[in-house]
Structure 1
Amino acid sequence: MRFSFLILAALAAGCQTHPAQETTATPAPPARQAPAAALRETHWVPRELAGQPVRLPADTREPYLTLRTDGTAEGNGSCNRFRGSFFSEKADELTFSPLISTRMSCAAIETENAFTRALAQSRTYRISGDTLRLFDAANAPVARLEAVYLH
């Protein structure tokens, strides 16, 4: 009988119930969105022009745009450097004066022409994180640029 009691006691100890564990999944922390890049003094690189991804031939320069705090717009279209003025009187407004540029040709001249055309058509903009989107007068997208941070 003592032997049976020990077996029952051992079985009872092994079958102890534990408090019910939570079955609800712990919510994931909210995704952290990068703060919006500044419109001015940021190195903006076009990634899409007129709805098409920017593709550059080998051995060509990456185009970029920098909007300076003094109202100067400057950059490189891939073949040529350009410079002009930009205007942003309202919170979402962005227009450019005609840009002055050198006139050398290169394998990426079509990309350069699409880039400068998008800047000329720009009337408004939106920044979300590291992305700058330019829109024309009809609010159609003309360019998507990405902030690239230089070291």
Structure 2
Amino acid sequence: MRPSFLLLAVLAAGCQTRPAQETATTPPPARQAPAAALRETHWVPRELAGQQVRVPADTREPFLTLRADGTAEGDGSCNRFRGSFFSEKPDELTFSPLMSTRMACPAMQTENDFTRALGQSRTYRISGDTLRLFDATNAPVARLEAVYLH
């Protein structure tokens, strides 16, 4: 009787399946969203000179759009602006002096910080929906977020 018990134990051990952790499939790596396009994207500043952008109530959200023809246009919260931008190298981004109306509003500080950051911009990096602008020393001057309008 013992030999048949031993034979059954050996057969049962050989029929066992692998533990669950070995047979489970590994989930595919998380897919990262493609980077937003530099041009023809509605960019909204979220951080200027290391400070979070806060827009006072009853003022417009500032934004920047870089057009395919080399035109930079947007709104600083109080005034619309327009000028040119240059991006001749893959990571280069500089702006001509921006023309703007000069109406006063509660968001003048935000507008001044925004246009100053654009004037200081020399390079950029896009990661997903985030555009970061850097000055000539590679210090960050602005962080903008792509906002998709429907």
- With the length of structure 2 as denominator, give the TM-score of the two structures: 0.86
Number of aligned residue pairs: 137
Q: What secondary structure is seen at the aligned counterpart in 2 of 1:117? A: helix
Give me the CA root mean square deviation.
Answer: 1.7
2:28 alignment counterpart: 29
2:113 match: secondary structure: helix
- Which amino acid is 2:19 matched to? Q
Please state if 1:142 is matched with 2:141.
yes
Q: Secondary structure at the match of 2:114?
A: helix
Partner Cα distance (1:28, 1:112) in 2: 46
Larger radius of gyration: 1
Query: Shift of the alpha carbon at 1:58?
Result: 0.9
Unpaired stretches in structure 1, ≥5 consecutive residues: 1-16
Corresponding residue for residue 11 of structure 2: none
TM-score (norm 1): 0.85
Cα displacement (A) at 1:18: 5.3
Deviates more, 1:21-30 or 1:128-137: 21-30
Q: Which amino acid aligns with 2:107?
A: A
| Alignment equivalent of 2:17, drawn from 2, 9, 19 | 19
SS in 1 for 2:21: coil
Correspondences of 1:107-146 after superposition (within 5 Å): 107-146=106-145
* Cα displacement (A) at 1:22: 2.3
Alignment of 1:29-48 (within 5 A): 29-48=28-47
The question of 1:66 aligning with 2:65 is answered yes
Query: Structure 2 CA distance, aligned partners of 1:73 and 1:137?
Result: 20
Amino acid paired to 1:53: Q
Which residue does the alignment assign to 2:10? Answer: none
Map of 2:87 onto structure 1: 88
Q: Deviations over 1:100-131 (max 9, x none)?
A: 00000111110000000000000000011111
> How far apart, in 1, do the equivalents of 2:61 and 2:90 lie?
29
Unaligned runs of 5+ residues in structure 2 are: 1-14
CA distance in 2, matches of 1:52, 1:28: 38
Percent identity between matched residues is 82
